[in-house]
């Protein structure tokens, strides 16, 4: 008896079965490749990390199902922590206020922050460099994944470099506004009166460019994982805006689309860094205007359970 007569199902359905197998394998290959090219939260996104357990980014950990067969006990004798293994823990110096003082301070701080506005018209009047240094220091106090401090703040005051930055951004933004962003986006922006011409890039005395370091380099040359680098840099950027405002200057939060690689190259930053925020900083122009916006009331932004 032949195999075909022994197994009538396979002999009759082999084209379907083969097609199904090819589809399944193609799907696995494509999804593996997609994961490889889209994961940016750590140095090793090839999937080897998951296999070996040596490097695991938060994304990879989230992917590992509880029932998956992975060996926690595996030993890696040559693994060392990025921070010193014997890092000292010291008493925390806490300044305590009375409840009344806390309410007063929080109200004052809210009122101060509520006066922050995004400004698109800058004066070229110089501002003390010390202020810029201090606001960057304040940004650098932000929390970061495993205290990796995955940020670089590039401060530009050189007029020629500012002109080059403006050229790169205006060239790209013209295409963004005219072609890439689409009708809905440009319509949503119309009330804010933004466009691709950005005089503030050459008017403001300083431009601070915030780069996220997707990974670092250990003293031994190995890659250092920057856990949650995106979130860490976002929080540091919030502190930067706050510090600029508290110091008495204004800024414009901007994220120029498609300009990251050209600006990174212009500023001599390594490929491990990605531009996340570009912030002109200075005094507002005398005749600066702002859109008359209001902010959502507390009932709309807070849920108390």
Contact positions vs ligand IYR (CB under 6 A):
173, 189, 194, 254, 256-257
Q: Which is nearer to ligand IYR, 225 or 279 (CB)?
A: 279
User: What is d(CA 211, CA 208) in angstroms, rounded to the nearest whole number?
Assistant: 10
- φ, ψ at 163 (rounded to 5°): -65, -40
Q: Which is nearer to ligand IYR, 150 or 256 (CB)?
A: 256
Helix (H/G/I), strand (E/B), else coil: 200: helix
Q: Which is nearer to ligand IYR, 214 or 278 (CB)?
A: 278
Minimum gap (Å) between residue 117 Cβ and ligand IYR: 13
Q: Which is nearer to ligand IYR, 196 or 246 (CB)?
A: 196
Element at 126 (helix H, strand E): none
**Residues forming a β-bridge with 118:** 251
Helix (H/G/I), strand (E/B), else coil: 289: coil
Q: Which two tokens stand for residue 116?
A: 């922050």
Q: Which is nearer to ligand IYR, 145 or 256 (CB)?
A: 256
Q: Which is nearer to ligand IYR, 56 or 274 (CB)?
A: 274
Cα-based distances in Å from 71 to 63, 74, 90, 202: 15, 6, 34, 56
User: What is d(CA 134, CA 245) in angstroms, rounded to the nearest whole number?
Assistant: 12
Minimum gap (Å) between residue 278 Cβ and ligand IYR: 9
Minimum gap (Å) between residue 149 Cβ and ligand IYR: 27
- Give ∠ CA 282-288-294 in degrees, rounded to 5: 100
Q: Is-contact 204 163, C-beta < 8 A?
A: no
CA 267 from centroid of its chain's CA atoms: 18
Q: Which two tokens stand for residue 217?
A: 């380099």
Minimum gap (Å) between residue 176 Cβ and ligand IYR: 6
- φ, ψ at 42 (rounded to 5°): -175, 170
**Residues forming a β-bridge with 274:** 212
Minimum gap (Å) between residue 285 Cβ and ligand IYR: 17
CA-nearest of 210, 205, 260, 209 to 234 is: 210
Q: Which is nearer to ligand IYR, 161 or 181 (CB)?
A: 181
Structure-token match 């689409």, residue found: 182
Which residue's CB atom is positioned nearest to ligand IYR? 194
Minimum gap (Å) between residue 60 Cβ and ligand IYR: 30
Minimum gap (Å) between residue 173 Cβ and ligand IYR: 6
Minimum gap (Å) between residue 168 Cβ and ligand IYR: 13
Q: Is-contact 211 289, C-beta < 8 A?
A: no
Q: Which is nearer to ligand IYR, 194 or 247 (CB)?
A: 194
């Amino acid at each position: 008896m032949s195999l075909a007569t022994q197994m009538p199902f396979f002999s009759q359905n082999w084209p379907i079965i083969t097609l199904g197998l090819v589809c399944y394998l193609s799907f696995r290959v494509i999804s593996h490749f997609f994961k490889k090219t889209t994961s940016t939260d750590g140095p090793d996104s090839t999937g080897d990390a998951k296999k070996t357990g040596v490097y695991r980014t938060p994304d990879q950990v989230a992917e590992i199902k509880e029932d998956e067969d992975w060996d926690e006990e595996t030993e890696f004798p040559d693994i060392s922590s990025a921070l010193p293994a014997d890092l000292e823990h010291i008493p925390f110096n806490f300044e305590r206020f009375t409840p009344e003082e806390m309410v007063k301070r929080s109200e004052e701080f809210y009122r101060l922050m509520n006066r922050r506005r995004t400004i698109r018209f800058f004066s070229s009047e110089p501002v003390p460099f010390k202020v810029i240094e201090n606001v960057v220091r304040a940004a650098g106090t932000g929390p970061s994944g495993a205290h990796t401090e995955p940020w670089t703040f590039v401060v530009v005051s050189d007029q020629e470099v500012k002109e080059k930055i403006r050229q790169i951004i205006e060239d790209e933004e013209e295409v963004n506004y005219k072609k890439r962003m689409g009708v809905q986006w440009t319509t949503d922006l119309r009330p804010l009166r933004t466009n691709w011409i950005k005089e503030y890039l050459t008017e403001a005395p300083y431009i601070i460019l915030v780069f996220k370091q997707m990974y670092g380099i250990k003293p031994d040359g190995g890659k250092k994982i920057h856990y949650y680098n995106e979130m860490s840099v976002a929080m540091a950027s919030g502190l930067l805006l706050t510090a600029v405002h508290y110091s008495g200057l204004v800024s414009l939060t901007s994220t120029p689309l498609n300009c990251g690689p050209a600006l990174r190259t212009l500023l001599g930053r390594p490929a491990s860094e990605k531009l996340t925020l570009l912030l002109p900083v200075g005094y507002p122009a005398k005749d600066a205007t702002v859109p008359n916006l209001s902010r959502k009331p507390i009932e709309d932004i807070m849920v108390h359970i």
